[in-house]
Amino acid sequence: MNITKEKKLTNMRAASSDTFENMTPPRNLTLEESLEFAREDECVEVTPEAIRIRKVILAANERAKSNRARAKA
């Protein structure tokens, strides 16, 4: 390190850091629509505030194991 040389100070950001990815907004489904939309490995959770579709087996590696076992059978 040379103490006689001045450090270059720039206030510029990288061009790639300013890009934003757009996400699709969530679907607001009724109970009937969500029952039709759900696959066989998903369940529909109904609460007073919301209706959600989620996977029955939450862990991804456990889902993969069950899919392989189902494919063998």
Average pLDDT by consecutive 10-residue portion of the chain (73 residues)? Answer: 75 63 87 93 93 92 91 88
Mean of per-residue pLDDT scores for the chain: 85
CA atoms within 13 A on the CB side of 62: 6
**Tell me, what's the pLDDT at 23?**
85
**Tell me, what's the pLDDT at 2?**
74
Nearest CA-CA partner of 69 in 36, 35, 41, 44: 41
What is the model's pTM?
0.55
